[in-house]
Structure 1
């Protein structure tokens, strides 16, 4: 199903629902809900909320005006004071409420969330649990809408194709047929099976800290303090704020312009280009602000030229050394331009600066903060993570021709790629503070990027143009989520030999599935497998190694007759490896898709790339490794650990190739020349732990970018062969290795450029610090 058809279906569903509002087919049951357990009313004037959950099992019951049997859409909008919340809906068909007859729906701040379900026959009552913890809330929207089977099935398939690992990217027509075939084989009805897959796409995780609560703990500089600091700045650059305007909501336009006038930093210019707005009030408001402050410049375009043309008109007005990009309904924080000026004094050669950002709902509540990494070139190819607030050196923007018409919808992404291509990494500066509030209104890309799928198409054209100008053989395709992209880099004409190094000792039940899976599930045509045997004694293991060598000439066995030392074993294997590319592979790894090695080789063959890591899952389909974050737990931890395989991750990062400071040696590729350049793995101080992190940091220091790719997926039975650090000797060794890492890399461990100082160093879930 293409995007246009999907929009038509959604539009038709909304129109049908509106026409049936108040009929038995559409229920708005808030007034009929009866509080039955752990619920108390609140004084809204005191708390800001209507209800309080007094425990971990609050319950509303509904016994009248129940939904009709069949496909239904549950819609929920709820404000609450918790870091996160999820609702559950239970069905009583005569045997009471139970988990088997329930559905789960995680809430999203500032949004109405939806999910399908199939209402059973003989429904006696519903139970609605608004959260699973104590806290306050207001239920603003609760709606149950009957759906036609065809529409419901289309929505179900759409979500599976978008979000489920088994069906992602499949043709819509094939999904339901495949599920029905599976159901027939299992002797069950297809609908419960399809709904079980659908259920797996709803992530069951909770944040640790509420953003609202986190904001309350932040202290901002006063206007007076900022003025004193501004006076001490050696350089006070003029910053021109560019605002293309076309028929915005008037109250939001006023708020946008007021936020510029309220800047604590005085050296700004507001350059507004009205793109022939048809609303006469827009011109009146702009004239009013131009009369109010001489720093406000307005040009009225005679014809509507769309956002690139309007932005260029605004750019023509700019007198500042730098230009800042602002949408006509978004807001700058009062300190935004001051923080930019501060950063420019620290980085006088900067050509581009960008900040963190959050969103603003229609009630003025801030939510969904995006705390970004420092310069991350591969992430910028995968999505426009720079976004807001973006500040550019004016002369460079003009030299590049400003905003390119034809890329409307992703013009900022296009500008960012063209500008960064002309700058060194040191000239691209991240300001780790929220300086920009992105308005999340109905129909905006801030609220739901899928509402403007033309931005994805424009972004695809932008990234393709940028990549293929440099590497014509590269292929650029849409990513799994709107406004995300995948670059398939070319392989050399003669694919290089890859030497996979697999240390092992006994445990044939671990080794055999690993080696057999690699040999059977790897499409890459040129590899050798080096089993590095560390004193195996098990006869079955030794027999397996003899057998696999005899039946597959890609396999060799090398003996390491020394005490276990992971670094030393792999360095030994590297000496005898024939390949130009080395792969560090644990003996408890199993590939899922046959193109896993092909993807990793495509990445590691890029001259600028050092170590490449894969996406690893536990056997229960939760994430074991999605890259390494420095500083977590004192040394390093795995990003997104325990997230579900279907989870988008932090701003969809679980599905984007991007640069990280380190990746795990459980499945790591590196060119042999780079491995030798940095001296391989550290045998003396890091016999077991952190040797992979140390290797990656040495590779980074040598001038290479490390990279993690989600397109190489494998299972990892983590450390099952080595065992846990559960003896005093093992704990002492682990502590010694951690101490070495702190001694050598301490300052860098505490400032991971691929992370953000506002995010936790205790957990691996991107929660707030």
Structure 2
């Protein structure tokens, strides 16, 4: 809870009667707050020493400013809740809490409340079996999040969290690393000319803007466009981070735009450095800082004429990638753009990408009509084993598999149907299997098992397959495009990639999976779930920490290196654990947003956590946390200025999960 250090909070113990229940929580304040200002609700489990974020308490449409409410589900073993303000300036509001009321609701009552608020929720909640009502309520709640969650603007977020106070500035310039801070030279691009003065411009942040002849530990160059503005204390932050990170080859940070009214808008919150997102131009659209000795080496090797700072930054970043240099991302808004990238800059950057493509002999297409660019990687060359675990339990599943086979256009493919059960095939299953006999590259594998174990079924099937790449796919998935597999395989041209995931949709075309965000919803969550969003991260291929096993392409060499799926994760989180173990072996995990399929999740929806397995879900959650706590606490591919709250992925975090100044307090992630 160091994120809320110096924040006042209200705490209340919870009786066991509220556990595993939907509850309406209402808070009354003595002091009036603006209706747009929410409160943050955290909960504690008996088997977890830390408090976990749950949701916001917001002002309802017809409630007075004194009240904040929320509909929440309180899990088993929840024994305490805490309420925080979203910023320290609102501490006084929590000091004046008049009352906190908790009312347990039945599932049906909760569903009816959602339907009253939004009648369209009725279809989402009641068009599926009643036994899955809890899941449908969550779906309805997330899809109507604009009613329950605050729609706070970036302008308001910036004013709350990016205006440094005196103590924060003092702390920055009293850093323990100040004697190791580097100096900077400025490289500025004006239209079609560049200006640089190596001898006369040595700026040390310790002097607060004055030049200094004193000795220094390292020398960095600021690669800056004339329409880019550095924040007042940006050089000090960059210098401190460079010293703390032992002088990386380059550093970059987040940015935003300043419009004609001098208002901040369109923030660009970036990931840690990775090639997939680099080639889109997303990471190099604003200021980069590079070590001078490395820049000098680059100039000696690179002989192509460039008249664009955007192209120079792209060429430099690709040079650093090929040399395997360390590039560091500072997750703070440290610069501002006053103009968008020009057509000339785009064209020059595209030329750099084409040179890189030729050097590596990779196949991909660049969509230049949008910026950041959309990159389609393509590979038809390498043979693939397509593995479909299935029960063949219904005509609908049979139709899904039939469509999957017909809508997969890939020249070198073997298909393996994996049937896991401990009894002979039924007549219906035999009938379904006979319909696939026309496919000469299809075979059936039987795995005898008393209980469903996804990991075991996959391991057995993969070891019976023959090709160097494996595509795992659920039996209730239908491709939207015949080229889905070639798009995913395109990323396997990079031998450092261990697994690739696809973008999955629900039948209503809302997103079901666009990557996995570690730490979201207190553990991990599918990015974009229930959204129809054009957010950059949901539309462009990029690196992630994990992807779902519902549709995943795997490099066999990587699979063998980590000994396959961990069979102690019998039901859930086996795909997450598998991806994280691949990352520990230095393999990359890619989310391919251009490979798109429909996942009829409800067809195979069932509760495997019952009977003898009643406590298995919590056991698997705790096991995942024990093995991978570090990355659960800090996903390197999800910016800490974004929220981890369920349903708010790639939306602003109130408050951010980092401190100002970054890296100088225990708040640092």
Query: Corresponding residue for 1:663?
Result: 547
Q: Please tell me whether the aligned partners of residues 488 and 592 of structure 2 are also in contact (alpha carbons under 8 angstroms).
A: yes
Normalising by structure 2, we get a TM-score of 0.68
Q: Distance in 2 between matches of 1:591 and 1:503?
A: 17
Q: Distance in 2 between matches of 1:490 and 1:519?
A: 19
Query: Corresponding residue for 1:597?
Result: 485
Q: Distance in 2 between matches of 1:205 and 1:600?
A: 32
Query: Aligned ranges for residues 10-89 of structure 1 at < 5 Å?
Result: none
Q: Please tell me whether the aligned partners of residues 629 and 639 of structure 1 are also in contact (alpha carbons under 8 angstroms).
A: yes
User: Are 1:556 and 2:443 an aligned pair?
Assistant: yes
Query: Corresponding residue for 1:266?
Result: 206
Query: Aligned ranges for residues 163-182 of structure 1 at < 5 Å?
Result: none
Query: Corresponding residue for 1:570?
Result: 458
User: Are 1:653 and 2:537 an aligned pair?
Assistant: yes
- Among candidates 356, 370, 388, match of residue 466 of structure 1: 356
Q: List per-residue Cα deviations over 1:71-102 (Å, max 9, x = no partner).
A: xxxxxxxxxxxxxxxxxxxxxxxxxxxxxxxx
Q: List per-residue Cα deviations over 1:226-266 (Å, max 9, x = no partner).
A: 46425752312111233334699xxxxxxxxxxxx9x9933
Q: Distance in 2 between matches of 1:367 and 1:410?
A: 21
Which secondary structure state, in structure 2, belongs to the residue aligned with residue 735 of structure 1?
A: helix
Cα separation, partners in 2 of 1:716 and 1:429, compared to 1, 3 Å = same
Aligned residues: 497
- Give the gaps of 5 or more residues in structure 2: 1-33, 36-58, 63-142, 194-200, 654-669
Q: Please tell me whether the aligned partners of residues 507 and 721 of structure 1 are also in contact (alpha carbons under 8 angstroms).
A: no
- Among candidates 197, 211, 227, match of residue 154 of structure 2: 211
What's the CA shift for 1:204?
10
Cα separation, partners in 2 of 1:414 and 1:365, compared to 1, 3 Å = same
Query: Corresponding residue for 1:234?
Result: 179
Q: Please tell me whether the aligned partners of residues 499 and 582 of structure 1 are also in contact (alpha carbons under 8 angstroms).
A: yes
What's the CA shift for 1:534?
2.0
Q: Distance in 2 between matches of 1:504 and 1:533?
A: 5
Query: Corresponding residue for 1:89?
Result: none
Query: Corresponding residue for 1:430?
Result: 329
What's the CA shift for 1:456?
3.1
Q: Please tell me whether the aligned partners of residues 356 and 436 of structure 1 are also in contact (alpha carbons under 8 angstroms).
A: yes
Cα separation, partners in 2 of 1:264 and 1:413, compared to 1, 3 Å = closer
What's the CA shift for 1:418?
3.8
User: Are 1:333 and 2:223 an aligned pair?
Assistant: no
Q: Please tell me whether the aligned partners of residues 240 and 268 of structure 1 are also in contact (alpha carbons under 8 angstroms).
A: no
Which secondary structure state, in structure 1, belongs to the residue aligned with residue 332 of structure 2?
A: strand
Which protein, 1 or 2, shows the higher relative CO under an 8 Å CA cutoff with sep ≥ 6? 2
Query: Corresponding residue for 1:481?
Result: 370
What's the CA shift for 1:208?
4.1
What's the CA shift for 1:519?
1.9
Query: Aligned-residue CA RMSD in angstroms?
Result: 3.4
Normalising by structure 1, we get a TM-score of 0.59
What's the CA shift for 1:618?
0.8
Query: Aligned ranges for residues 541-690 of structure 1 at < 5 Å?
Result: 541-562=428-449, 563-644=451-532, 647-649=533-535, 652-684=536-568, 686-690=569-573
Q: Distance in 1 between matches of 2:646 and 2:316?
A: 32
What's the CA shift for 1:350?
0.5
User: Are 1:421 and 2:321 an aligned pair?
Assistant: yes
Q: Distance in 1 between matches of 2:613 and 2:152?
A: 34
Q: Distance in 1 between matches of 2:207 and 2:165?
A: 18
Cα separation, partners in 2 of 1:654 and 1:741, compared to 1, 3 Å = same
Query: Corresponding residue for 1:68?
Result: none
Q: Distance in 2 between matches of 1:534 and 1:750?
A: 36
Q: Distance in 2 between matches of 1:708 and 1:628?
A: 9
- Among candidates 639, 647, 663, match of residue 756 of structure 1: 639
Q: Distance in 1 between matches of 2:274 and 2:289?
A: 17
Cα separation, partners in 2 of 1:541 and 1:623, compared to 1, 3 Å = farther
Cα separation, partners in 2 of 1:221 and 1:391, compared to 1, 3 Å = farther
Which secondary structure state, in structure 1, belongs to the residue aligned with residue 435 of structure 2?
A: helix
Largest Rg, 1 or 2 = 1
User: Are 1:243 and 2:188 an aligned pair?
Assistant: yes
Cα separation, partners in 2 of 1:614 and 1:231, compared to 1, 3 Å = closer
Query: Aligned ranges for residues 59-208 of structure 1 at < 5 Å?
Result: 208=151
Q: Please tell me whether the aligned partners of residues 172 and 237 of structure 2 are also in contact (alpha carbons under 8 angstroms).
A: no
User: Are 1:348 and 2:246 an aligned pair?
Assistant: yes
Which secondary structure state, in structure 1, belongs to the residue aligned with residue 398 of structure 2?
A: helix
What's the CA shift for 1:620?
0.9
